[in-house]
Every structure is written in structure tokens, then in C-alpha cells.
Chains A and B, each alone.
Chain A
């Protein structure tokens, strides 16, 4: 099951983070006085996404060593963290998509398909003339579309 997807800008700024576990979606406005009480899980997801950037950065900066083929956007498994697996995807504009899942077995095909759709959705979202590049994506339509994609994760290829 996908627990979290994230879009991270080319300067490693978070553009969109969405958790798919119950009850902790409102992460952006956290009262400082009760951070833990409100969203321990989402905080953890934030940490996972944030930490995975280390690996993405490394792959971006040393594409040869990490065996990244040019024009290959799918970064593969970034790191297994505790109970999660983190997959990454890098667009030509250095925007990163991060997928956090609890599935132990994820086929690369599934992840690729997922990221392909996600990328399309992202492109549509930022093509909105009212979207300011670099700002967080607030489009509700994008959110809906993402949750559809998340729901269909793994189903297409029979997984």
C-alpha cells in the first residue's frame, strides 16, 4: 500500500506531500504546541521523504557512478527505511517524485507505471496558468487525480 507520495522541487523544496493513511492529512498547519499529538505519522513521512533526498541528490550529482542512464527518469528503490520502501523518479527539470510504500515486493514495472501517470498529472497541474512555478501545488483536482493513481497502483499489471 502506498502511504505517501511527494513532489519535491528542483531545489529540494517540497511541492506536494500527501499521506494516504487515515486521519492525518492536514500537515501543513500544525500548532507548534502539539506537533506530536497532531501528526506523528505525517511527520514521519516528511522525514522519510526528506531523508530520501540524500539518495536522490547523490544520484543526481554522480549519475555515472550510480549507473544512472541518461534520460532514465526512474531512480528505482532509493532506500528501505524501517517498514517502508522509497522509490524515486526524477524529471528533466530536476523535480523529484517520491513514493513511499509499505509493500515489501514492488515490481519495478508497477513503480514505473505509477510514476509515468504521476508525471502526467504533475505536468497538467503545473500547466495551469495560475500555478506559480516553485510554489506548493494546491490544486484539488491534482490531489484527486493523485489519489486515483495511488488507488490503481499495482492493479494495472495484475499486481
Chain B
């Protein structure tokens, strides 16, 4: 059996090519390659070398179209026992190849060649080609006449031409030798024998039989030579004769041989032209060949020789001839028959050849799996021969099968994998990796193949191949391998690695499995923001790069959501989290693992890690970007088990996806108890040039600031540029919750510090005011206790964030040149800016808590006296003087006794201190109302400024806020100008206002009022703040707002009339007035009642005055009247002009000293709607009754 057998093989002249003297294998191969190119020599080209010595036996030689074909056998081959049977098996020529520089003595070369060619007894022509001779060798005359042919040094083309000529010469010589031989054979009595013919004992009968057969055999052999000589017609003639003769003598073996020759002659004649008729003919004849070879099987010598190999060879020849897709079924049948037959072949190498050929033919048909199957058989045969070279062959053959079994080494797939797509499903194209996932389920077969590769590699002494096979086996099939087996593979890996030089790389990764875990986002201190060159506030248009993955503003960009983008900065370390898994039963020591960066602009730092059996770990791999540009990180470089491999994330992702679909045996991460798979997409990473880097720290520690509700405090934040580029632009803004708790930010300080050089530092002040805890917060705080709540508060993200956007290149100055140079050319975006997020960790503690607010009214009757502020005085504008003097006289008197405080309202706030510190509160009213500012503020400072209310822990305190002051200024202050006073008699409302307007105005007024009331508190030395009680006040005031704010339409007042008492009494009156307004019994006391109209329309009233004693009895009427009077006291009809006062004088005579109360009341006639509204009366004709506050009259006894 011979490899590469085809039908045409019969027409090939076998030429042994042997190295002579010292030729390095490389040179020999080089020269041989040059020679092999001349495998076909046309007859026309050799005619010049050919001389016809005698009549050529090849009468029909096609000199024009025919050719001689050579089969060069490098290194030669031993003679075959079947040479007589098939002449093409003979070595008919020997070509020696000699490299002259390494063989100086040409004589000895010639001798060596002669000796070597002697071993080829069948050779007819011998030549020795000596290449590159030196001059001295060229001149060497001694080798003239020998077979040595010198090829003078020349360029390749010339040499090839020279060589071609020499080959043509050889061809011509061979042709002449063939002629000679054929002439001899026709005449002479050559005996043709094959090993089939029994040699031991030639009985006479057999001798006769052999003689009979001789003729047929001779004809067949002559036919063979005709074929070799390139004359198919002659060959065919001889073969026909031979067929006749051999059939007659029942020499089936030779018959089959002649038939084979005749087919070859037929094909040669057709010059490679194929048609179905020819194919059928060939098929028919070859079937007969196969049949006859089978017939020639002789049981006797079956143990020694068998024509079986010829039968199989013929089958293979036919299969090769037919090997086309369309005839696949025929070929498969032939090949199957061959494979069946091969099992009974005796010679192992024959078997090998058969399997190799079968595998090749199946491969050619496109039956890759069958080809792989037979390749594996070949490999097993190789492995049976227990030597290193066979093992290497086995390994190589197995390597070829890996593609069909989808276990190929990554090295053999190659970087650009065009064959990565395969048509598996009705022409649909699937990506290689997916299909390989599916096909990887033939684990039984795959493991066997890999194991055999491992075995053969170990035997062949190829540690890298062994390592690779063991790695593939372990990585792909660990779930099917017992722990003992896993350990065995571990040992194989380690043993192989020991034989490998340090730092060997292998394309196939072993363990551990590596997958991308996550890219840690920039810390908030390092955020990078794309600059929007079109805007002054460049950060506004650009989406922030984090920490928020989702922002509603980026929703419109669909691409944004599925492809994350990352920006890294040159020189700033970056981190990538990867997860490693070791699902096997032994510990995996990863000597080093680092990011594999194909773009080459990242310095990755190796990490060493050890993975216990069945475990997984998330580790951080870091690196420093070195150059700007895109970074691609397809995987990790792992140095493990002594070999460096690259692990791609993509592959593991595919594996895990396959595991979820059930295509792969097991998910290595899941089996190690790792967290559930998150599909981490490899983001596109861009490296940008160095940027400035601001680092912040809050003076007094970066912990959270503990503030009580409403507390105001300054925080100092120092910013330092830790980058290598100055900060030239910076802008501070706020974000997050509770932004209004930041009162001021000293952004000016920062701006004035620009540009901030690397290393420079600036401190800015931020004033904070703690917000109110919401109800739930305080509840939670109460339930958890203070420390718990503070932690929660800090994490809640309820604190505001201070955002500082800063960048290197200002628009106008700074690196202007750089910017300008860049922009017009590349129109590239300016280098990105950065954002520093400083979380103002405010932890708000519950401070004073507001329990309730109540509106209290206080009724202190006024005393009648002369000093009672009069309208005249007020109109003269000396209110201040009066008040001032009063105040100076007695600061503690807060209520004017002459005025009383009828209808005075006090807002009572009940505050509770749940904290463990002491609070002091004070109430203040900020009045910025223009006209009476001085007046009121004076009042307030007197009344509320100084005293502080101390509230101890766990105590409740009440704070009173008098609201009286607000009656006047709020209503129509601007209209009435100075025409109001402290006692509450005020200008009226604009009657033209509709009620609605009034209400709106009122509400505004209330708000205004409320905003002016401030309850400040202080605790300790440096805590101070303000209580937020607006809502509470509003709620308290809401009910009685009318009463508080609106003046009555009429105000009444009593006073002692000075004028009426006459000049005599002046001294006393004045005295009495000053001394306390005492009225003496049994004296006529002149009094006046003052009625003031607070509206803008004249009011007609019916006034009446009453006086009551301590018991509340009317003391002016009835039997026991104790007071006598002069003047009219009831039913006084009068009209009060708008905003004016009317006096009504009368006199009283008190019979008994004591306390009396004066009351004035009036019926209003024809009330307008405003009055009605004020009085809350609906009926139109109902009279409106107005009552004035009571005035006390103290009547002392006679002196």
C-alpha cells in the first residue's frame, strides 16, 4: 500500500531523490522543491535530447501532446516486492543532490553517489546534481564523464532553467532506456514473479503453468512501460493482449493488474477529460479489477501475502477518481468497504495508509466527522507503534480532527477566523462560537480526543501540546471528570509546565474562569463630564458620567442605555473588577493575573491570587492609562500552572449564556457559589489626557455635620488640586435634596483663587441651615434613638450635594492656544471637564419640637385718664415721645394702663425639648415696614428682645408672642399713612374692596406677618438657629384672623374732660391726671366719650353709655343709683365722619367710692356691606351693635 495512490499512479516514473555528502535538510528540501516542480515533462520538450537508436517499440507515442510524469521520492525507498507486478513501483532513476560548499571533494561525491545509486538496482538513469560549486570545483576535470552535473552559481531563475534542462535530459535518457528494456522483454525470457507465486517448491506442473502465464505477464509489464513512456495507445494494445492471455491462464491477479493499467491508459488517452460515459467505464472496469483482485486470494499463502492490499488500493483509487459531492453515496460505499477490508489487513503500515486515505477522501467529500473518525483510527495506529515519531504523527493527526470535534486549540483557529461560520442548519449561518457550544455536547467523543492528544503529546515529548490539551480538557469538561481525574490533569499541567521554558505562552486557557465583574465608577471626587463647547456652562448639556446610571434626561438616546461609556485619564489609576472561579477539586494558584490590553495604552499591574477548590473570588485589577485613545480590554493575561495564557471575557460570557440555555455542562461560577450572573458589557473606554483633579475635604473632619433642626452653621471646605494640570474654570452648584439648607456658598473665594495650580489649595465657606425633620423621620428617630437615626440620615441621601464643575482650559484664557489649535483642525471636543461632588453630610437631629400653638386673648380693661393717648397728640406726630417717656418711666409695664388691652391677642407656642441639651429661645419680629419701623422695633426690643426662655431637656416651655402690634400695620397702612396708633384704632378698609379682595389681601398680610415672627434659639456656645413655626402660626391664626387683624369699625374711648372742669380745677386735674387719674367721689367729673370711625364712610350711630359697679349692676338707673349724671347718656344719635373722631361730653357724680366700669355701645344704622361682613350678620335690616372695651374708673373717697 502506498499513500496518495490514484489511477494515474501507474503512469508515473518513480525517481529517488537522495542527498549526497553533507546537505543540511533545509537545503536539501530547498533543492528538492526546485526539482519537484518539474514533475511533468512534455515529450515535445525532450525530443532534442532523444536519439532513436533503433526502431522504437512505442509506435504510437504522442510526441506532440504526450508527456512523461515523474514521481519524486525524497530520500528514496526500499525496493518493493511487487516491483515486477507494477513497474511503476520500481525506482527507475536516482537523482543525487549535493551542496558543493559543504563537499569540497567532488571525486568523493561522485563515489558516494555511485555507491548510493547501486542500492537502487532497478534504476536505469543516475544523475548527481551538485549545486553552488566554487571555481576550483568547476575547473576540476577529474569528475568529467561521471554522472556529476555541476550547477554553476547563478540566480534562481537561471538555476531553475538549468535544472529543467537536466530533468528533460533525464527524461529523454529514461525514454531511451524504456525502449531498450521493452525490446529486450519482448524477445527475452524474463520471468515475472510476485510474492503471491509460491516460491518454495515449484512442481513441474507449476513451472509449466508459470511458463504459460509468462507471456501474459510480459505483455502486462510492457504495457506498464508504455504507460511510463507516455504512450497510452501502445500500452492499451499490450494490456489487451495481456488481458486475453491472463484470462486464459486464470492468472486473475495479473488480469486485474492489466485491467488497472488499461484504465490508466484510457484516462491518459483522454488527457484528464472526464465525462459520465468515461466515469461509468472506469467504474465498470475498476469493479472488475477489484473483483479479480479478490478472486486472486489464495488461502494457502494468506498468512504471508495477500492481494487484499491491492484490492483496497484499487478501491481507494476508484474512490479518489469518483470523489465528488454528487457521487458521495458511491464513494461512501467504496470507502466503507475499504474500511471494512482494512480490519483484516496484516501489515500495520498498510492499515495506516488505508485509514489515512479514507480520512482524506471523506474530508474531500465534506464529511468532516467521518474524516475525523478515521483520522482518530490513524492516530490510534500510530500510538500502537511505541515510538516518539509515531507519537508526533499521532498528535498531528489528532490535531486535525479537533476541528470536527470542536475541541480545537485556539491557536489553530487563528486570529481572523473566516471559517468561523459554518452552515449547520439548512444554510443558515451561525457564528462559530454558538455552534461550537452546541456541538460541544458531544463531550464523550471530545474528551476522548483530547485525552488522546494529551497522551500522544506526552509520548511525543511536546509539553506545550500536552499542556494545551490538558487545559482544554480541564476547562471544558471538568464537570465530567472525577476529582481523581482532575488531579491527574493538574499533574499533567504541572509536569508539562516543568518542561517548558519560563514564560511560555499558550493560546488555550486553563483555569481559572475569568469574567468581568464590573467597572467601579469613578469616585464622586473624580467624575468626568463631557464639555459642551457651545455653552458657557459647559457641564449643562452633557450627561453626567455617574454616579447616576439612569437619568430621565438621557432617556431619549437609545444607544446610551446599552453601551456604557467610560473615560479614563492618563496617569490616574483605574480599576476593573473581575471574578475568578475554580470549579475543580484542587487549589489553583494564579501566579499573576493582569488585564490584557490590546490597545497598548494601559500599564496593567499583575496580581497574585490563590483559589481554593470550588471557589470563586472577585478581585480588583488595576492599571494606569499611559496614552490617550481607545482602550480595549478583551480579557486577562493569566500566569497559572506555569504557562501564560490569555482569558477572554467574551468566551466565558458565551459559556455562561450557554449554561443558562443548557448547552454547556455547567456554569463554573454558579457551581462555585458565585452570585448570579450579571451580563456586564464591555464598555467602550476612552483615555483622555491628564485633567486637573480637585480633592476636597471638610474642615473638622469629613464626617457628617450634626445639626439640630433649624441650626445655622458655617462649614469650611478646602479644595486642593491633586492633578498635574491647573484648574482654570470652576463653577459651584447645588444638587440633591434639601438644597435650601445651603444658605450661602462662597463661590467668589473659589473664583478668585483660579487658576488653581497643581498642589494649590483653597478654602471656601458654606453656610448651612438644618432643615426640619419630617414627621416620619422624627418618629423613626424617636423609635431608634438618636445615633441610629443619625446614621440613617447620613445614608439617606437627604443631604444636599455641592457640585463643583471644573476644567483645565478656560474658554478665553489659559490654554487658549491649545484649544484654538485643536478646534479648527480636528473639530474635536475640548478635553472633558470634571465634576467634584462634595456631599454635605448634614445629620439633622431633632431640636426643639413644636407642640402646639394657641391664640390667647387677654382682656385688661383700660383706666380712664387724661393721659390716654389722644387723637390730637397722635396727629401731631409726637407718639414717639409719649411712648418713649412712658417706657423710660417703667420698662416693665408693657400694657398701657390708659389704653388697656382689650382684645389683645397673644400667640402661645408650646415647645418641647426632646434633646439632651438646653435650649434658650427668644422671639423677635423683623419689621421692615417703612413708616413705623423705628417705632415698632423699639417696642419690640423692649417687649420681646431681651428675655430668653430657657428650656431644659425633656421640658416643655411656652413662648408668648403678642400679636397686637400687627393689627395696624397690616391693614391699609399705606393708605392711612400715619393715622393709626398703638391702641388699635386704625384706619379702615377701603369700602370699595370686594370681600374677595379683602380676603386675598388678608392672606398676604398674614403671611407677611408670620414671616416676620422669628423664634431663635441658642444651645451651648456655638449652636444657634431658628425654629420653623410658620405653619404652626398660620394654623393658629387661621381661625381668628379677622379678629386679630381687622380693627372694629368703631372704637370707643373715655377720658376725663379737662376743658369742662374750668380753669380753677386745672391744677388739680393735672395733678390727679399725673398721679394716677384718680377720681374723687362726691365731685362732678367731666368725661368725654370718643367714638372713632374706622371706616371710610360716615356712620350714623345711636350711642349709649353705661356705668356699672363692681357687682356689674347698672348703677345709673333704678332705685339705688349710686351715680348721678349730667348730660345725655343714652340714645345719642350722631354721625361720625369717616376716619374721624366724635366727642360726646357728659359728667358723672359718683356717690360711693369704688371701682366702676364705663361701657360705651352703639347701634349702627344703615350699615353697609363691609360693616355687615365684619359683624358677620346676614340680615339686611338687622342693626349692628358695637361695643367698646370696658374702662375702669376708680373712685376714691373724699379727702
What is the CB-to-nearest-CB distance from A42 to chain B, in angstroms, rounded to a whole number? 7
Known: A46-B445, A47-B445, A81-B336. 11 other contacts (CB 8 A): A11-B434, A12-B424, A32-B480, A32-B485, A32-B489, A50-B445, A55-B332, A58-B328, A65-B325, A79-B332, A135-B663
B484 at the interface (CB under 8 A from A): yes
Chain A residue at minimal CB-CB distance from B484: A33
- Residue contact A61 to B426, C-beta cutoff 8 Å: yes
Asked if A80 meets B488 with Cβ closer than 8 Å, knowing A11-B425, A13-B663, the reply is no
A31 at the interface (CB under 8 A from B): yes
Chain B hits for A10, CB < 8 A? 425
Chain B hits for A60, CB < 8 A? 425-426
A35 at the interface (CB under 8 A from B): yes
Chain A residue at minimal CB-CB distance from B443: A28
Asked if A54 meets B370 with Cβ closer than 8 Å, knowing A12-B424, A134-B661, the reply is yes
Asked if A134 meets B369 with Cβ closer than 8 Å, knowing A11-B439, A50-B445, the reply is no
Q: How far is the CA of A52 from the CA of B358 in the complex (A)?
A: 16
Asked if A29 meets B442 with Cβ closer than 8 Å, knowing A11-B424, A79-B336, A94-B425, the reply is no
- Residue contact B369 to A43, C-beta cutoff 8 Å: no
- Residue contact A32 to B662, C-beta cutoff 8 Å: no
Question: B441 touches which one: A14, A58, A81 (CB < 8 A)?
Answer: A14
Q: How far is the CA of A33 from the CA of B325 in the complex (A)?
A: 39
Q: How far is the CA of A39 from the CA of B447 in the complex (A)?
A: 13
B196 at the interface (CB under 8 A from A): no
- Residue contact B426 to A94, C-beta cutoff 8 Å: yes
- Residue contact B339 to A30, C-beta cutoff 8 Å: no
What is the CB-to-nearest-CB distance from A125 to chain B, in angstroms, rounded to a whole number? 14
- Residue contact A43 to B444, C-beta cutoff 8 Å: yes
B430 at the interface (CB under 8 A from A): yes
Q: How far is the CA of A32 from the CA of B491 in the complex (A)?
A: 14
- Residue contact A51 to B485, C-beta cutoff 8 Å: no
Chain B residue at minimal CB-CB distance from A9: B438
- Residue contact B438 to A33, C-beta cutoff 8 Å: no
Chain A hits for B434, CB < 8 A? 11
B384 at the interface (CB under 8 A from A): no
Chain A residue at minimal CB-CB distance from B438: A11
Q: How far is the CA of A53 from the CA of B430 in the complex (A)?
A: 17
Q: 4 nearest interchain CB pairs?
A: A135-B662, A11-B438, A54-B367, A13-B438
Instruction: Give residues 29-85 of A contacting B (CB, 8 Å).
Output: 29-33, 35, 39, 42-43, 46-47, 50-51, 53-55, 57-58, 60-62, 65, 79-82
Tell me the A residues contacting B by CB distance below 8 Å. 9-14, 27-33, 35, 39, 42-43, 46-47, 50-51, 53-55, 57-58, 60-62, 65, 79-82, 94, 132, 134-136
Q: How far is the CA of A136 from the CA of B480 in the complex (A)?
A: 15
- Residue contact B444 to A51, C-beta cutoff 8 Å: no
B326 at the interface (CB under 8 A from A): yes
- Residue contact A35 to B366, C-beta cutoff 8 Å: no
Q: How far is the CA of A62 from the CA of B340 in the complex (A)?
A: 28
A-B contact pairs, 30 of them (CB 8 A): A9-B438, A10-B425, A11-B434, A12-B439, A27-B444, A28-B444, A29-B480, A30-B444, A31-B482, A31-B484, A32-B488, A35-B451, A46-B444, A47-B445, A51-B367, A51-B369, A54-B362, A54-B367, A54-B368, A54-B370, A58-B325, A60-B425, A61-B423, A62-B325, A79-B336, A80-B333, A134-B662, A135-B661, A135-B662, A136-B441
What is the CB-to-nearest-CB distance from B112 to chain A, in angstroms, rounded to a whole number? 49
Chain B hits for A65, CB < 8 A? 325-326
Q: How far is the CA of A53 from the CA of B404 in the complex (A)?
A: 11
Mostly helix, strand, loop or mixed at chain B's interface? helix
Chain A residue at minimal CB-CB distance from B368: A54
- Residue contact B661 to A132, C-beta cutoff 8 Å: yes
Asked if A13 meets B439 with Cβ closer than 8 Å, knowing A27-B444, A43-B445, the reply is yes
Mask for B365-395, Cβ within 8 A of A = 1, else 0?
A: 0111110010000000000000000000000
- Residue contact A82 to B339, C-beta cutoff 8 Å: yes
Chain B residue at minimal CB-CB distance from A53: B369
- Residue contact B661 to A32, C-beta cutoff 8 Å: no
Chain A residue at minimal CB-CB distance from B479: A29
- Residue contact B480 to A134, C-beta cutoff 8 Å: no
What is the CB-to-nearest-CB distance from A137 to chain B, in angstroms, rounded to a whole number? 11
Total interface residues on B, CB under 8 Å, equals 45
Chain B hits for A31, CB < 8 A? 481-482, 484-485
B435 at the interface (CB under 8 A from A): yes
Residue with the greatest number of chain B CB neighbours at <10 A, chosen from A47, A61, A65, A94 = A47
Chain B hits for A82, CB < 8 A? 336, 339-340
Q: How far is the CA of A65 from the CA of B328 in the complex (A)?
A: 11
Chain A residue at minimal CB-CB distance from B326: A65
B225 at the interface (CB under 8 A from A): no
- Residue contact B369 to A50, C-beta cutoff 8 Å: yes
What is the CB-to-nearest-CB distance from B364 to chain A, in angstroms, rounded to a whole number? 12
B58 at the interface (CB under 8 A from A): no
Chain A hits for B373, CB < 8 A? 47, 50-51
B427 at the interface (CB under 8 A from A): yes
B477 at the interface (CB under 8 A from A): yes
Chain B hits for A79, CB < 8 A? 332, 336
Chain A hits for B851, CB < 8 A? none
Question: A54 touches which one: B369, B481, B662, B663 (CB < 8 A)?
Answer: B369
What is the CB-to-nearest-CB distance from A4 to chain B, in angstroms, rounded to a whole number? 13
What is the CB-to-nearest-CB distance from B92 to chain A, in angstroms, rounded to a whole number? 40
Chain A residue at minimal CB-CB distance from B440: A13
B457 at the interface (CB under 8 A from A): no
Mask for B222-248, Cβ within 8 A of A = 1, else 0?
A: 000000000000000000000000000
Q: How far is the CA of A32 from the CA of B439 in the complex (A)?
A: 19
What is the CB-to-nearest-CB distance from A6 to chain B, in angstroms, rounded to a whole number? 11
Chain B hits for A57, CB < 8 A? 424
B448 at the interface (CB under 8 A from A): yes
Chain A residue at minimal CB-CB distance from B439: A12
- Residue contact B339 to A11, C-beta cutoff 8 Å: no
Instruction: Give residues 410-439 of B contacting A (CB, 8 Å).
Output: 423-427, 430, 434-435, 438-439
What is the CB-to-nearest-CB distance from A33 to chain B, in angstroms, rounded to a whole number? 5
- Residue contact B447 to A30, C-beta cutoff 8 Å: yes
Mask for B188-220, Cβ within 8 A of A = 1, else 0?
A: 000000000000000000000000000000000
Chain B residue at minimal CB-CB distance from A81: B336
Chain A residue at minimal CB-CB distance from B335: A79
Chain A hits for B438, CB < 8 A? 9, 11-13, 134
Chain B residue at minimal CB-CB distance from A14: B441
Q: How far is the CA of A47 from the CA of B373 in the complex (A)?
A: 7
B361 at the interface (CB under 8 A from A): no
Chain A hits for B325, CB < 8 A? 58, 62, 65
B473 at the interface (CB under 8 A from A): yes
What is the CB-to-nearest-CB distance from A83 to chain B, in angstroms, rounded to a whole number? 9
What is the CB-to-nearest-CB distance from B690 to chain A, in angstroms, rounded to a whole number? 50
Chain B hits for A81, CB < 8 A? 336
Q: How far is the CA of A5 from the CA of B489 in the complex (A)?
A: 33
Chain B residue at minimal CB-CB distance from A31: B482
Q: How far is the CA of A53 from the CA of B425 in the complex (A)?
A: 12
Q: How far is the CA of A42 from the CA of B339 in the complex (A)?
A: 20
Q: How far is the CA of A35 from the CA of B452 in the complex (A)?
A: 11
Chain B residue at minimal CB-CB distance from A32: B485
Q: How far is the CA of A68 from the CA of B187 in the complex (A)?
A: 60
Q: How far is the CA of A51 from the CA of B368 in the complex (A)?
A: 8
Q: How far is the CA of A134 from the CA of B440 in the complex (A)?
A: 13
- Residue contact B441 to A13, C-beta cutoff 8 Å: yes
Residue with the greatest number of chain B CB neighbours at <10 A, chosen from A9, A39, A42, A54 = A54
Chain B residue at minimal CB-CB distance from A39: B444
Chain B hits for A11, CB < 8 A? 424-425, 430, 434-435, 438-439
- Residue contact B481 to A32, C-beta cutoff 8 Å: yes
Mask for B37-69, Cβ within 8 A of A = 1, else 0?
A: 000000000000000000000000000000000
Residue with the greatest number of chain B CB neighbours at <10 A, chosen from A28, A32, A53, A65 = A32
What is the CB-to-nearest-CB distance from A146 to chain B, in angstroms, rounded to a whole number? 19
- Residue contact A55 to B663, C-beta cutoff 8 Å: no
Asked if A32 meets B336 with Cβ closer than 8 Å, knowing A13-B438, A47-B373, A51-B369, the reply is no
Mask for B508-534, Cβ within 8 A of A = 1, else 0?
A: 000000000000000000000000000
- Residue contact A58 to B366, C-beta cutoff 8 Å: yes
